[in-house]
Amino acid sequence: MNSTYLKRVTVVPDDNKGTAYISFTTANESSMEYFLLNHDGTLTRKETFEGKQEWEVPWTVPGTDCVGHLEAAIQRNHQFARCEGNGSSNLDKKDGFLKLTTMKVPELADWVSGPKNECEKQCLMNCSCTAYAYYQGIGCMSWSGNLVDIQKFSSHGADLYIRVAYSEIDKKRNMKFLTAVSVIIGSIIMAICAYFAWTWMAKQKGTDSYCCEN
C-alpha cells in the first residue's frame, strides 16, 4: 500500500438515517480519486490523473469476516441454553461458553458492573444472557437474544463468550473420550499385530537356518 496525503477530511453523520459519509481533498490537485466500499466490506481506492482515461487501483483492503446473525451461523454446531417460564434454566448442569477471539462485539450491549472474573458468573445467573465480553476501558458487557452485527478481525478486537448448553459440552467431552479410547485400542491392536508378525518372522528365519544347516 503506498502513501496518499489527504487534507480537509470531514466526517458528516446523518443521525436520522444512521449513516455517515466522508469528504476529502488530496494534496495532489492534478489527481482525482474516490473510495469504494463493497457490500462484503472490501475498501478499494481508485485514482486517475490528468490526461489519463482509466482509473487505477493503488490498493484494496480486504473486508473482515462478517459473522452477521451469529445464532443462525453456529446453531448447526452449538446449542444455546434455554430457560423455562419460571426464569430458571431447564438445564440442571452448568452451562458453558464458546470463546471467539478478536471479535467485533454485537450492538445493543447491556453494561454490567464488576471486574472481569464476575462477567461469566453474572451471565450464568441471568437466564436470558446469551453472551458476554470484557473489554479494557469499557468493562463487562452482556447480550440477550440474537447476536447481530458481529465481525471477525484479523487482529485486536475482543474475546466474545457465547453461552452454550451443557449437553453440547458433554458431547465434546464424550467425543474426546471416545477418540482417546479409540487411539489407545488401535495402538494396542497394532502392537499385538506387530508382536505376532515379529514372532512369525523369527520362527521363519529359524526354520530357514535349520534347513540350510541340514
* pLDDT tens by residue, 2-30: 444 455 667 777 777 767 777 777 666 77
207 phi and psi angles, rounded to 5 deg:
-65, -45
CATH value of 72-169 in 3.50.4, 2.40.128, 3.40.50, 1.20.1070: 3.50.4
89 versus 115: the higher-pLDDT residue is: 115
160-171 pLDDT per residue, tens = 998 887 655 555
60-97 pLDDT per residue, tens = 776 555 555 454 444 444 444 444 444 444 444 577 88
Of residues 9, 4, 1, the one with CA closest to residue 49: 4
211 phi and psi angles, rounded to 5 deg:
-65, -40
pTM: 0.47
| Residues pairing with 66 in the sheet | 151
At residue 181, the 3 state secondary structure works out as: helix
At residue 201, the 3 state secondary structure works out as: helix
